[in-house]
């Protein structure tokens, strides 16, 4: 799934087809069983899979049967083969899923309140969907949690980690910095930094990708937690465009609608699923974590005008607009329209920029309008 542009899709080798639960699905060279199935709308559960990453085949939730083969195969890692018959809903597959999920749950909190400290937990969702038994005993989780990390954004909850390595693989393969790695063995496998340093002192760029890819919320966001924000599923998601650089990442503002006296509060930012937007589900530190400015106490909340003493004082909108209109008109009358300059902003919307230039040209009759494009 590395290619994305249409050109490359077309350039792929000749179309072949595979049979999945009786649906015949066309696929092209290099595609996996999982990709073909997803296109056909056949659901195969996955935990360690992410289309941005090389398949790891680590979690085994995606095992399916191939007719004529004894062993089940991981759909996320197995290339589709021409004419193969794939079965995803057999009794054997079902038994495998139940067993596997039940085992995962032995050292995983089963209570949503505890397990979902902020983000939805795909493991619990899956256990519900496939009816996995939840009473197979409890093992103490022995993973090291690096609780002392003083970085401001990311916390690691070892109890809910399933060692799927999505986070570490993302950090290496997509962000390219390998700030976190899998460490330890067996039940002690955990997500570590070199010498257990705080992420602040590592190569970490605070992209938050590890948080985004984690299926269980083990890699989680600190700020909503310390602020006891509502869980993510109770928040309203509003799709918007990041306001920092020119890439135009798509992001979802997660809003607590009741907060701020009903004005609503952005309590976290998440990214749309990979493959659906230009940023492919990725964000940088600013897009993902810099949202506190929205509700900052230093926001200007009232129009201000300068009084006789030269101080800026609060006033009504009507008065501010009147003073503003008189001020601009006064300059134009005394010195001509070209004594006015309008500075628009590449931070504002297209519509707002249109209105500023129209204000300048159509209302005040000057072409002295520009924005800080260079900075």
Could you list the residues that contact ligand SF4 (CB under 6 A)? 154, 161-167, 170-171, 175, 177, 179-180, 191, 199, 204-210, 213-214, 216, 218-219
Return the SS3 of 311.
coil
Residue 189 as a binder of another protein (CB under 8 A): the answer is: no
What's the CA gap between 233 and 151, in Å, rounded?
25
Q: Which does 3 bind (CB under 5 to 8 A by kind): ligand FES, ligand SF4, another protein, none?
A: another protein
Residue 1 as a binder of ligand FES (CB under 6 A): the answer is: no
| One of 32, 38, 46, 216 touching ligand FES (CB under 6 A) | 46
What's the CA gap between 210 and 313, in Å, rounded?
47
| One of 20, 64, 73, 76 touching ligand FES (CB under 6 A) | 76
What's the CA gap between 62 and 43, in Å, rounded?
10
CB 185 within 8 A of CB 163: no
Residue 62 as a binder of ligand FES (CB under 6 A): the answer is: yes
Question: What residues does 313 pair with on adjacent strands?
Answer: 305
- Choose the stretch contacting ligand FES; rule: CB under 6 A; options: 58-66, 183-191, 223-231, 322-330: 58-66
- The CA-based diameter of the chain, rounded to the nearest angstrom, is 91
Between 61 and 190, CB nearer to ligand FES: 61
| One of 205, 225, 230, 231 touching another protein (CB under 8 A) | 205
- Choose the stretch contacting ligand FES; rule: CB under 6 A; options: 7-15, 40-48, 88-96, 149-157: 40-48
Closest CA to 80 of 134, 33, 148: 33
Residue 295 as a binder of ligand FES (CB under 6 A): the answer is: no
Nearby residues of 197 by Cβ (< 8 Å), 6 or more positions away: none
| One of 57, 120, 231, 303 touching ligand FES (CB under 6 A) | 57
Q: C-alpha 108: how far from its chain's center?
A: 24
Q: Which does 59 bind (CB under 5 to 8 A by kind): ligand SF4, another protein, ligand FES, none?
A: ligand FES
Between 142 and 322, CB nearer to another protein: 322
| One of 48, 80, 115, 161 touching ligand FES (CB under 6 A) | 48
How many angstroms separate the first and last alpha carbons of the chain? 37
How far is the CA of 19 from the CAs of 63, 65, 149, 208, 328, in angstroms? 16, 12, 49, 38, 72
User: What does 194-213 look like in DSSP terms, one character per residue?
Assistant: GGG--GGGSS-----HHHHH
Residue 231 as a binder of ligand FES (CB under 6 A): the answer is: no
Between 46 and 157, CB nearer to ligand FES: 46
Residue 139 as a binder of another protein (CB under 8 A): the answer is: no
Q: In angstroms, what is the C-alpha Rg of the chain? A: 27
How far is the CA of 186 from the CAs of 49, 143, 163, 189, 255, in angstroms? 20, 10, 9, 6, 39
| One of 30, 131, 133, 275 touching another protein (CB under 8 A) | 275
CB 144 within 8 A of CB 280: no
CB 174 within 8 A of CB 52: yes
- Choose the stretch contacting another protein; rule: CB under 8 A; options: 79-87, 105-113, 122-130, 283-291: 283-291
Return the SS3 of 226.
helix
Residues 213-252 that bind another protein (CB under 8 A): 223, 236, 238-250
Report the nearest approach of ligand FES to the CB of residue 213 (Å): 12
Q: Is 233 exposed, middle or buried (0-12, 13-18, 19+ CB in 10 A)?
A: exposed
Tokens 């997803």 correspond to what residue?
38
| One of 300, 308, 309, 311 touching another protein (CB under 8 A) | 300
Residue 110 as a binder of ligand FES (CB under 6 A): the answer is: no
What's the CA gap between 20 and 23, in Å, rounded?
5
What's the CA gap between 109 and 159, in Å, rounded?
7
Residues 7-36 that bind another protein (CB under 8 A): 7-8
- Choose the stretch contacting another protein; rule: CB under 8 A; options: 38-46, 112-120, 137-145, 341-349: 341-349
Residue 265 as a binder of ligand FES (CB under 6 A): the answer is: no
Residues 146-185 that bind another protein (CB under 8 A): 152-153, 173-176
Q: Residue numbers of the site for ligand FES (CB under 6 A)?
A: 46-49, 57-62, 74, 76
């Amino acid at each position: 799934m590395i290619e994305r542009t249409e050109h490359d899709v077309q350039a792929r080798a000749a179309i072949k087809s595979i049979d999945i639960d009786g649906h015949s699905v066309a696929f092209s060279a290099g595609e996996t069983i999982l990709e073909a199935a997803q296109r056909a709308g056949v659901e195969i559960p996955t935990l360690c899979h992410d289309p941005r990453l090389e398949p790891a085949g680590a979690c085994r939730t995606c095992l399916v049967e191939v007719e004529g083969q004894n062993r089940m195969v991981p759909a996320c890692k197995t290339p589709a083969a021409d004419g193969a018959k794939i079965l995803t809903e057999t009794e054997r597959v079902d038994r495998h899923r139940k067993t596997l999920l039940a085992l995962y749950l032995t050292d995983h909190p089963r209570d949503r309140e505890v397990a979902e400290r902020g983000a939805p937990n795909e493991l619990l969702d899956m256990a519900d969907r496939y009816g996995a038994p939840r009473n197979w005993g409890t093992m103490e989780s022995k993973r090291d949690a690096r609780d002392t990390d003083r970085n401001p954004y990311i916390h690691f909850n070892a109890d809910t980690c399933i060692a799927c390595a999505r986070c570490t693989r993302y950090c290496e393969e997509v962000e390219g910095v390998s700030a976190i790695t899998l460490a330890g063995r067996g039940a002690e496998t955990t997500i570590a930094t070199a010498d257990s340093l705080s992420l602040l002192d590592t190569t970490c760029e605070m992209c938050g990708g590890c948080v985004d890819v984690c299926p269980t919320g083990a890699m989680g966001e600190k700020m909503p937690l310390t602020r006891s924000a509502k869980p993510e599923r109770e928040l309203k998601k509003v799709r918007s465009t990041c306001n920092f650089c020119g890439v135009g990442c798509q992001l979802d503002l997660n809003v607590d609608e009741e907060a701020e006296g009903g004005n609503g509060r952005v309590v976290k930012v998440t990214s749309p699923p990979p493959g659906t937007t230009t940023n492919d589900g990725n964000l940088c530190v600013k897009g993902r974590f810099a949202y506190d400015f929205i509700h900052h106490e230093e926001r200007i909340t009232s129009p201000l005008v300068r009084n006789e003493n030269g101080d800026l004082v609060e006033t009504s909108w009507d008065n501010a607009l009147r003073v503003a209109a008189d001020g601009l008109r006064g300059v134009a009358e005394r010195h001509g329209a070209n004594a006015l300059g309008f500075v628009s902003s590449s931070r504002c919307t297209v519509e707002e920029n249109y209105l500023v230039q129209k204000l300048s040209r159509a209302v005040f009759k000057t072409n002295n309008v520009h924005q800080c494009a260079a900075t």
